[in-house]
Amino acid sequence: MKLSVSLFVFALLFSFLLATSAHTHENFLQCLILHSGNDSISKVIYTSSNSSYSFVLESSIRNPRFSTPSTPKPLVIVTPLGVSQIQEILSCAQKHGMQVRVRSGGHDYEGLSYVSPVPFVILDMINLRNISVDVENSFAWVQSGATLGELYYEIAEQSKTLGFPAGVCPTIGVGGHFSGGGYGTILRKYGLAADHVIDAHLIDVKGRFLDRKSMGEDLFWAIRGGGGASFGVIVAWKIKLVPVPSTVTVFTVNKNLEQNATKILHRWQHVADKFDKDLYIRVILTGANSSQEGKKTVQAAFNSLYLGGKDKLLPLMQESFPELGLVSEDCKEMSWIQSILYFAGFPSGQSLDVLLNRTLTVISYKAKSDYVKNPIPESGLEGIWQRFYEKEAESAVLILTPYGGKMSEISGSAIPFPHRAGNIYKIQYLVYWSEEGTAATESHVSWIRRLYTYMAPYVSKSPREAYINYRDLDIGTNNEGNTSYRHASIWGTKYFKNNFKRLVHVKTVFDPTNFFRNEQSIPPLSW
Digit-coded pLDDT (tens) for 474-505 = 998 876 555 555 665 555 555 456 788 899 99
Does 230 share its domain with 368?
A: no
Tell me, yes or no, whether 519 lies in a domain.
no
- DSSP alpha helices (H): ranges in 321-468? 336-343, 378-388, 406-409, 438-455
Domain range for 192 is: 131-244
Does 371 share its domain with 327?
A: yes
**pLDDT value at residue 370:** 98
Tell me, yes or no, whether 159 lies in a domain.
yes
CB 464 within 8 Å of CB 430? no
Q: Which of 190, 306, 458, 470 is catalytic?
A: 470
In whole angstroms, how far apart are CA 267 and each of 23, 263, 331? 62, 6, 21
Does 234 share its domain with 256?
A: no
CATH of the domain at 108: 3.30.43.10
The rounded radius of gyration (Å) of the Cα atoms in the chain is 24
**Domain tally, the chain:** 3
User: Of the residues 244, 264, 287, which one is the last residue of a structural domain?
Assistant: 244
User: Of the residues 429, 456, 483, which one is the last residue of a structural domain?
Assistant: 456
How many other β-carbons are positioned within 10 Å of the β-carbon of residue 509?
15
Whether 43 has a pLDDT exceeding 80, the answer reads yes
Contacts of residue 423, Cβ cutoff 8 Å, sequence gap at least 6 = 273, 371, 372, 373, 403, 407, 460
Does 260 share its domain with 188?
A: no
Tell me, yes or no, whether 343 lies in a domain.
no
- DSSP alpha helices (H): ranges in 37-74? 53-58
User: Within 13 Å and on the Cβ side, how many CA atoms surround 32?
Assistant: 27
Tell me, yes or no, whether 508 lies in a domain.
no
Tell me, yes or no, whether 65 lies in a domain.
yes
Does 386 share its domain with 271?
A: yes
Q: What whole-number distance in Å separates Cα of residue 97 and Cα of residue 206?
A: 15
Residue 294 CB-density burial (10 A; 0-12 exposed, 13-18 middle, 19+ buried) = exposed
> pLDDT for 242-271, tens place per residue?
999 999 999 999 999 999 999 999 999 999
Whether 341 has a pLDDT exceeding 80, the answer reads yes
CATH of the domain at 204: 3.30.465.10
Does 297 share its domain with 427?
A: yes
Q: What whole-number distance in Å separates Cα of residue 523 and Cα of residue 508?
A: 8
Q: What whole-number distance in Å separates Cα of residue 495 and Cα of residue 225?
A: 10
Q: Would residue 183 show up in a list of annotated catalytic residues for this protein?
A: no
> pLDDT for 196-230, tens place per residue?
999 999 999 999 999 999 999 999 999 999 987 89
DSSP string for 444-455: HHHHHHHHHHHH
Does 229 share its domain with 282?
A: no
Tell me, yes or no, whether 56 lies in a domain.
yes
222 in the Ramachandran plot: left (φ > 0), alpha (ψ -120 to 50) or beta? alpha
What is the pTM for the complete model shown?
A: 0.92
CB 249 within 8 Å of CB 368? no
Does 267 share its domain with 289?
A: yes
Tell me, yes or no, whether 371 lies in a domain.
yes
Residue 128 CB-density burial (10 A; 0-12 exposed, 13-18 middle, 19+ buried) = buried
CA 67, chain centre distance (Å):
19
Does 87 share its domain with 194?
A: no
Whether 523 has a pLDDT exceeding 90, the answer reads no
Does 203 share its domain with 272?
A: no
Higher-scoring residue by pLDDT: 315, 526: 315
Whether 110 has a pLDDT exceeding 60, the answer reads yes
Tell me, yes or no, whether 311 lies in a domain.
yes
Whole-angstrom distance between the N-terminal and C-terminal Cα of the chain?
A: 42
- The mean pLDDT of 444-467, rounded to a whole number, is 97
CATH of the domain at 451: 3.40.462.20
The helix/strand/coil state of 275 is coil
Does 306 share its domain with 175?
A: no
> pLDDT for 56-77, tens place per residue?
999 999 999 999 999 999 999 9
Whether 14 has a pLDDT exceeding 50, the answer reads no
Length of the chain: 527
Does 254 share its domain with 289?
A: yes
User: Of the residues 212, 244, 276, which one is the last residue of a structural domain?
Assistant: 244
